[in-house]
Amino acid sequence: MAERVHPAADSPPQSGQFSGNFSSGEFPRKPAPPPATYVIQVPKDQIYRVPPPENAHRLQLLSQKKAGRSRCRCCFCSILAAIFILAVLVGLSLGVLFLVFRPEAPKYSVEGFSVSGINLTSPSPISPKFNVTVRSRNGNGKIGIYYEKGSTVDVFYRDVDLCNGALPVFYQPAKNVTVVKTALSGSRIQLTSGMRKEMRHELRKKTMPFKLKIKAPVKIKFGSVKTWTITVKVNCDVTVDKLTAPSRIVSSQCSHDVDLW
């Protein structure tokens, strides 16, 4: 006769096998936790609400840092919004001024260019002098131009700055042509032997090239409103026939640029 094997009292029930008597209202008991395992029950109202005493100070510091970062973000966003609104207002104002006044850039040309003080037969330093006459035409019907202090006028041969000076301070009204004369001078400019030879060659052809550079701070007048300071840059390529006064301009071509800020 085969032996019947009874399961041990502490062995888990097999599949489909339950312990206890359901008919008597008894339910299976929860399995006991494995050895060395602890179950700690914490009241629900103490979870995430009341930190331990040793962490209370740290929680307060973290809360203060978070609030400070939030205030900084709000302040930064407010500054960006103010800058954006200001830029929009400035753009709209400039657009209105452009539509009303229809501004156009003034035109510049060189009317006179007298040279002296350049000796090409001696290796000694030179002290050149230039008398330059510049014609400025303001074709705007409602815009005046203030030429202010701080302008610079330079004459170059190749990359050598031969002399410098400044424009006079003046106001040019609308629909006006102004002719400005300025005297430029240089002191003890040393030319290389190769540069002297090149200048003598160009002088024999009566095509001595120079570059005139003007940088002038100006303010534009729209009606009764005057703008901030704007820098006008004029570059002219001037060719003369000789290095003595009076000299004749063989060719002249000017270009200009404007720095609004």
| Separation of alpha carbons 246 and 249, rounded Å | 10
pTM of the model: 0.65
Residue 75 pLDDT = 78
**Average pLDDT of the chain?**
81
Confidence band for 199, pLDDT divided at 50, 70 and 90 = very high
Helix or strand (DSSP H, E) at 69 = helix 53-101
Helix or strand (DSSP H, E) at 196 = helix 193-204
Of 70-74, 127-131, 139-143, 236-240, the least confident: 70-74
Integer angstrom CA distances of residue 15 from 11, 27, 73:
12, 16, 61
Residue 76 pLDDT = 73
Contact 151/170 with Cβ under 8 angstroms? no
Amino acid occupying residue 152: T
pLDDT higher than 80, residue 158 = yes
Contact 245/215 with Cβ under 8 angstroms? no
**What DSSP letter does each residue of 147-170 carry, written as one string?**
E-S--EEEEEETTEEEEEE-PPPE
